[in-house]
Copies of this chain bind each other. A is one copy, B any other.
């Protein structure tokens, strides 16, 4: 985590050049004029994928917000990334997130691979949605680089992944040795061995300094766990990358990241923020992401503030109250909860409870340190509480939660899809409404008409964006049931699962 002094060193300067111009996703292939037109907050044109075809006939549509920011702060990326064996490079050592084998990631370098037929290849498919805040810089930057960080991390374990039957070796460069995977005989679960089954007595397993291991065990790590670890570290690298480059360039704000990776028959859904991924398969809705918000991560944030109160300056309290405490309530008993509690209890209000709460507000209005409405994202290295020196960054996690879904099991029909969308969609439509809308569109599809299918998934995405944006009436944007439409940026990927089968043989 960033120390505040490090942040000062890298403070954002208005005279820094932009790292990337504002843009829309590459695959939309918009002209500068079209980009300009897309920012019309009054008409809010829905942009869809046109000539370009995305892998798996993925559909995509987006719309800009109704005025909350000048530009569309959502970004998207879709790529098929090739993993190839690289020449050996043992120059790295040490463990810090930045001391990778290659420490910087100019994209031209990454894409330069060794064209040697002897080296086995492996592809991964990648879809990413980034929802920016406080500017579009971080979202644009992450959309250009996160898949390359994933590539770099997966590259390190490529040889292991290429042998699906191989259990990942605990230590590289050693001959695999046979370890007892479970305690040696005599320490069975029956508990006849006193030491083995004691749960709490000090000294039972011996001191870490002096003990001879009583049983020698080794965890079996699955290949899948290497992919999850690679994605987790890629997010950390992405965040550190933004942190480094903001010393030279202007990279404004931060962004959520929701990523789907398809590799060797499995979908990996990684989420840091409040975008959402659903799998809809045979009519069933499978939630593939949890939102990370001030409310959902309240206890983690309060725990951190409890352990390191200096992060709150003198302005905030880590306790939660149902509303702001007023001066005249000092001495009275008021509802509160701390990091250990899910319920509420009364405590006697003291002077220091008058401080602003670390977490405040409900639902979409909930904020960390009165500033930010999400608890996991990339960027925001310089974000501070308004008029204060209190950094937000220590509270923001850039680590995603990664869920895995095995696509190799069962039948897949043309109606089975992954839906990825930023919170602009989910704020106004429920999972069920989205699933029904998709079923409605895809139900009319001729599964043998390949060309039509390609359009269809984009049309489905467009339909969802339309349903969430609504139409402009006197009282603003309205959707079905005369509910308010979403005034936020909205971006939607529809990824048909049927098409993954044609890529199964990617490990040649």
Instruction: Enumerate chain A interface residues (CB-CB to B < 8 A).
Output: 65-69, 92-95, 131, 133-135, 153, 156-157, 168, 170-174, 179, 183, 187-192, 194, 196-211, 213, 215-221, 224-233, 236, 253-254, 300, 303-304, 307-308, 315-316, 321-324, 329, 331-335, 337, 340-350, 355-356, 361-362, 364-365, 367, 369-374, 377, 380, 383-388, 392, 397, 399, 401-402, 427-428, 476-477, 484-488
> Hey, which chain B residues are within 8 Å of A198, CB to CB?
68-69, 133-134
Distance A367 CA – B202 CA, assembled complex (angstroms): 11
Distance A71 CA – B68 CA, assembled complex (angstroms): 67
Given A191-B487, A370-B207, are A134 and B200 also a contact pair (CB < 8 Å)? yes
Indicate which residue in B69, B215, B340, B347 contacts A397 across the interface (CB closer than 8 Å): B340
- Copies of this chain, complex-wide, total 2
Indicate which residue in B213, B230, B329, B343 contacts A229 across the interface (CB closer than 8 Å): B343
Pairwise interchain contact A219-B362, C-beta atoms closer than 8 A: yes
> Hey, which chain B residues are within 8 Å of A427, CB to CB?
189
Pairwise interchain contact B346-A172, C-beta atoms closer than 8 A: yes
User: Could you list 11 further interchain pairs (A-B, Cβ under 8 angstroms) beyond the known A168-B335, A233-B341?
Assistant: A69-B198, A171-B333, A173-B332, A174-B332, A190-B484, A190-B486, A204-B386, A210-B387, A229-B343, A230-B343, A232-B343
Supply 20 A–B pairs (Cβ within 8 Å), ascending by A.
Answer: A94-B350, A134-B198, A134-B199, A170-B323, A171-B349, A174-B332, A179-B323, A188-B484, A189-B484, A191-B487, A192-B487, A197-B488, A208-B385, A217-B323, A220-B322, A221-B322, A221-B335, A303-B303, A340-B397, A342-B401
* A contacts with B: majority SS: loop
Indicate which residue in B66, B68, B200, B230 contacts A133 across the interface (CB closer than 8 Å): B200
Pairwise interchain contact B387-A323, C-beta atoms closer than 8 A: no
Distance A464 CA – B104 CA, assembled complex (angstroms): 61
> Hey, which chain B residues are within 8 Å of A369, CB to CB?
208
Pairwise interchain contact B485-A345, C-beta atoms closer than 8 A: no
Given A229-B343, A232-B342, are A322 and B218 also a contact pair (CB < 8 Å)? yes
Pairwise interchain contact B323-A373, C-beta atoms closer than 8 A: no
State the Cβ distance, A168 to closest chain B Cβ, in Å: 7
> Hey, which chain B residues are within 8 Å of A323, CB to CB?
170, 179, 216-219
State the Cβ distance, A363 to closest chain B Cβ, in Å: 9
> Hey, which chain B residues are within 8 Å of A322, CB to CB?
170, 218-221
> Hey, which chain B residues are within 8 Å of A67, CB to CB?
191-192, 194
Distance A1 CA – B341 CA, assembled complex (angstroms): 15
**Which of A200, A211, A227, A343: most chain B CB closer than 10 A?**
A200
Indicate which residue in B68, B134, B300, B365 contacts A215 across the interface (CB closer than 8 Å): B365
> Hey, which chain B residues are within 8 Å of A211, CB to CB?
370
Pairwise interchain contact A93-B219, C-beta atoms closer than 8 A: no
Closest to A475 in B: B190
> Hey, which chain B residues are within 8 Å of A380, CB to CB?
200
Given A157-B346, A191-B488, A487-B189, are A333 and B205 also a contact pair (CB < 8 Å)? no
> Hey, which chain B residues are within 8 Å of A199, CB to CB?
131, 133-134, 372-374
